[in-house]
Amino acid sequence: MELLEILGYAGALMIGLVLGLIGGGGSILTVPVMVYLLALNPVTATAYSLFVVGSASLVGAGKNLQKGLVGFKTALAFAIPAVLSVYSTRRFIVPAIPEEIISFNGFTLTRDIGIMLFFAILMLAASFSMIVDKEKLLASKPSQEEKKETNLALLIPLGLLTGLITGLVGAGGGFIIIPILVILAGLPMKKAVGTSLLIIAINSLLGFLGDLGHLKVDWLFLLAFTALSVIGIFLGVYLSKFVNGHKLKKAFGWFVLVMGIYIIYKELTL
């Protein structure tokens, strides 16, 4: 086993560890680990990421379900359009993206580069959500009366948009979903986190089915990678008793920010 491959499997453990320690964010590393350490192409990496993220989120959702921190009605209202969107994206849109999208001034924007650049932009947005205190940011959310008018009208299109993003980059999008659940559905922060994990699990695992028709899956690798991530989650949950999760989340946010900038630089200077 080569060094990069060993680091890739170590990355799987770290993804779960971060998820367990700070309750989210670790899955944003899944695609970079698979592409840059395990040498998978971005289309395959984003597909595999959906399975890993979905499995990890299912574990987290189960834990929150035991604590009564999952809003099923809200989850279904958001997840149904999101699932249709992510499945359609993986089944039809991603395979339809041409290998070469556009060429200019000697630079060719390929499908792989395009996916990684879009993913890097998503990483920058995710890093912002981790660096900024979400609870303070959402403290001025609308009142219940205001929310009732916009709730159903906006959850469906936002679910479709989130599904499109999830399908394109293979990331759960919790940093997008949580503010939506707090502002539009009026859920408390902890319940929004638990509900988002259920939505992410449904979106990612059912969205992954859209890849099965055109992608040959290495199940041995995928299950091993996922198992290491889940082990990391339980390890992270245990270690979270001894670590300041708030400070760690901000530090990890800065790390994701640097990674996002690095990916943009790497992809544009090939």
Q: State pLDDT tens for residues 186-241.
A: 888 888 888 988 998 999 999 999 999 888 999 999 999 999 999 998 898 888 88
Q: What is the pLDDT of residues 28-58, one digit of tens each?
A: 889 999 999 999 999 999 999 999 989 988 9
User: What was the pLDDT predicted at 187?
Assistant: 84
C-beta separation of 202 from 77 below 8 A: no
Q: For the chain, what is the mean pLDDT?
A: 86
pLDDT-derived band at 60 (thresholds 50, 70, 90) equals: confident
Give the rounded percent of residues in the chain with a pLDDT score beyond 70: 91
CA trace torsion 66, 72, 78, 79 (10° rounding): 70
Q: Are 184 and 151 in contact, with CB atoms under 8 Å apart?
A: yes
Q: State residue 136's pLDDT score.
A: 60
Give the integer Cα–Cα distance in Å for 130 and 220.
33
Alpha-carbon gap, residue 91 to 183, rounded angstroms = 31
What the block records as the tokens of 150 is: 């916009």
Give 143-184 pLDDT, tens digit per residue: 444 444 446 678 889 899 999 999 998 877 777 888 888 888
Does 265 have pLDDT greater than 50? yes
At residue 22, what are phi and psi to the nearest 5 degrees?
-120, 0
Write the CA distances from 141 to 151, 180, 183, 185, 188, integer angstroms.
Answer: 13, 10, 5, 11, 11
pLDDT at 145: 44
pTM of the model: 0.88
Here the tokens at position 72 are 């099923």
